[in-house]
């Protein structure tokens, strides 16, 4: 059973303005996918949409603060009304505020969870019935090492990323009979992105790789049906390396 075609299909992508989301948007557009780009950074996401349109695909910028559940639900419903059911949903948007537990306020903690975990719920909820009706779809939440382990100063980010893994497991079971693949993808390497600049140690900064190195994996994830892979936690770096190997040749 071959992978689903993504050319001419729609992907809903959160966090598209910067970092990994931006690299994913460019890769998917280069492979002929149309994109709805959700991000809180209105100017950047509009500029990106303009650039992608020059590649011959359709790209719609949607300025939205994903921490606000009703705005996020309205944004995804509006996108479905405009372009129909997407082939794929990739939830990349996140913030990481390194802060000792004693310095967290409830509201600050809640906002970080709302972008990462509530955002995953609201976006998935918005595409679930449309994907069910069209008979296929692939949902990917971008994960992290913080989804399996605990790290100091991450009292919000770590539980939010753990929560995304749990939501993925439930949705992958419920989605299987409707041919909706639901997976997470950890980066597999520290990325050279705005998120990392603020909190990585000098040692990790030495090992950062450009987010474009991971982007090919997301074209593969966007093409998955439930029969191919669901309920998995992918390593996007390893998947990208495997995809690029035939193109670039094995390392000596
Ligand atoms: N940077 C890393 O090394 C690393 C490692 C592991 C996992 N990750 C994960 O990869 C993903 C991408 O991270 P990145 O490094 O590209 O981050 P980034 O900060 O560079 O980009 C995050 C994007 O999310 C958007 N965003 C933030 N708050 C938002 C909100 N309230 N509403 C809508 N959009 C919002 C930002 O505007 C930005 O475009 C995240 O899920 C992150 O947790 C990153």
Domains of the chain, each with CATH number or no CATH: 10-243 (3.40.50.720)
Between CA 129 and CA 8 the distance in angstroms is 21
CB atoms within 10 A of CB 63: 17
Q: Is the CB of 165 under 6 A from ligand 1?
A: no
Beta bridge mates, 37: 13, 61
Q: Note if 157 is an active site residue.
A: yes
pLDDT, one tens digit for every residue, the chain (252 residues): 778 899 999 999 999 999 999 999 999 999 999 999 999 999 999 999 999 999 999 999 999 999 999 999 999 999 999 999 999 999 999 999 999 999 999 999 999 999 999 999 999 999 999 999 999 999 999 999 999 999 999 999 999 999 999 999 999 999 999 999 999 999 999 999 999 987 888 888 899 999 999 999 999 999 999 999 999 999 999 999 999 877 776 654
CA dihedral sign, ordered 249, 187, 165, 223: negative
Q: Whose CA is nearest to atom 34 of ligand 1?
A: 39
Question: 92 CA distance to ligand 1 centroid (A)?
Answer: 6
Q: Is the CB of 120 under 6 A from ligand 1?
A: no
Between CA 138 and CA 187 the distance in angstroms is 18
Q: Is the CB of 76 under 6 A from ligand 1?
A: no
Question: 134 CA distance to ligand 1 centroid (A)?
Answer: 29
Q: Is the CB of 119 under 6 A from ligand 1?
A: no
């Amino acid at each position: 059973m071959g992978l689903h075609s993504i050319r001419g299909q729609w992907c809903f992508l959160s966090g598209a303005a910067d970092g990994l989301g931006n690299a994913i948007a460019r890769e998917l557009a280069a492979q002929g996918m149309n994109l709805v780009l959700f991000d809180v950074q209105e100017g950047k996401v509009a500029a990106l949409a303009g650039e992608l349109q020059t590649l011959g695909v359709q790209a719609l910028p949607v300025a939205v603060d994903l921490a606000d559940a009703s705005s996020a639900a309205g944004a995804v419903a509006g996108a479905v009304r405009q372009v129909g059911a997407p082939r794929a949903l990739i939830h990349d948007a996140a913030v990481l505020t390194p802060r000792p537990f004693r310095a967290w306020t409830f509201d600050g903690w809640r906002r970080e969870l709302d972008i990462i975990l509530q955002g995953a719920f609201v976006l998935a909820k918005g595409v679930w019935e449309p994907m069910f009706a069209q008979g296929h779809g692939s949902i990917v939440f971008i994960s992290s090492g913080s989804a399996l382990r605990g790290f100091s100063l991450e009292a919000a980010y770590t539980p939010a990323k753990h929560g995304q893994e749990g939501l993925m497991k439930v949705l992958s079971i419920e989605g299987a009979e409707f041919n909706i693949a639901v997976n997470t993808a950890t980066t597999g390497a520290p990325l050279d992105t705005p998120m990392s600049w603020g909190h990585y140690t000098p040692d990790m900064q030495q090992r950062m790789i450009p987010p474009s190195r991971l982007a090919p994996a997301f074209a593969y994830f966007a093409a998955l049906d439930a029969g191919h892979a669901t309920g998995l936690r992918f390593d996007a770096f390893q998947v990208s390396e495997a995809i690029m190997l035939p193109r670039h040749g094995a390392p000596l």
